[in-house]
Amino acid sequence: MSVASIFLWNDGELHALGGECDMTDSTNVAADSWLVSNGRALGIGLHRERFLHTAPDAEEFWDAAIAAIPSQGDWFPRVEKHSDGRLLFRLRPAPERQRSAVLATWTGPDPRTQPTVKGPDLAAMLRIRTAVQPLGATEAVILSEDGYVVEGAYSGLLWWRGDILCGPPADLPRINSVTTRSALTLAAALGLDTHEEAVTPLELDGTELWALSALHGIRIATGWVDGPELAEKPGRLATWRARLDALRRAI
């Protein structure tokens, strides 16, 4: 299968739709996506928990979507709940995954309407990521009103202070990134210190900065347009990408 397939949940079953589904009269109230490689995924239980927190009536739909994912190949499926009550499953081949990212600060108003819910702001996140691409960036970074780093348009952000893995404070509203949570949990299991800190972009000068997402896993930020100078400790990224891959489990 080389193109995405779309399924609508109706009468307790997934029904394949021909072509794109017209959702112009509804808004996306919840969505989740994750990488499945040969039937294995990272943190699938956390993805389920996050989606069902906003769509608690969608358990059967979730189970049917999981069962519809092929056991071979690389996939990036997405589940959606819309404001009109429709539940949609998109079975998509996984796009090419990247090792690195170039960041740029989003300088416009915060486009998020529901910062802690994945789904309602997906179109806005795509818009700001696209807006920074002419600058040579592949990811836009959202700042708080006080200028502190919050998250990327499609990624969580972590950085290293020596051997301490750091991230934004919990009181800065953002998506509860499954990949970020997995990395922090793994760091704690390895006996490493983790730390929350409110930082401006320039206060990240000299750090190794990671952008984390379900599709790409951990990407290292190799540059920040008009921002801090970033570093990379040889071998650390490869080690941690391998560690997260080892945590993938059969779905």
Task: Give residue 3's pLDDT band: very low, low, confident or very high (50, 70, 90).
Answer: confident
What per-residue confidence (pLDDT) applies to 2? 57
**Which residues make up the CATH 3.20.10.10 domain(s) of the chain?**
100-250
pLDDT higher than 70, residue 23: no
d(CA 11, CA 73): 29
**Which residues make up the CATH 3.30.470 domain(s) of the chain?**
5-91
Q: What is the assigned CATH class of domain 100-250?
A: alpha beta
Q: Which residues contact 99 (CB under 8 A, 6 or more apart)?
A: 216, 219, 220, 237, 241
Long-range CB pairs of 165-170, under 8 A, 24+ apart, other chains included: 165/192, 165/193, 165/194, 165/195, 166/194, 166/195, 166/196, 166/197, 166/207, 167/194, 167/195, 167/196, 167/197, 168/196, 168/197, 168/198, 168/199, 169/196, 169/197, 169/198, 170/196
- Provide the 8-state DSSP code for 96: P
Q: What is the pLDDT of residues 178-215, one digit of tens each?
A: 999 999 999 999 999 999 999 999 999 999 999 999 99
Amino acid found at 155: S
User: Coil, helix or strand for 59?
Assistant: helix
Across 185-215, b (16+ Cβ under 10 Å) vs e yields ebbeeeeeeeeeeebbbeebeebbbbbbbbb
Task: Give residue 1's pLDDT band: very low, low, confident or very high (50, 70, 90).
Answer: very low
What per-residue confidence (pLDDT) applies to 19? 63
Question: Helix %, strand %, coil % for the chain, to 5?
Answer: 25, 30, 45
What per-residue confidence (pLDDT) applies to 21? 65
pLDDT higher than 60, residue 239: yes
Specify whether the CB–CB gap between 150 and 143 falls below 8 A: yes
Handedness of CA 237, 211, 126, 131 (dihedral sign): negative
0.75 cut: is pTM over it?
Answer: yes
Amino acid found at 147: G
CATH code for residues 5-91 = 3.30.470
Specify whether the CB–CB gap between 187 and 160 falls below 8 A: no
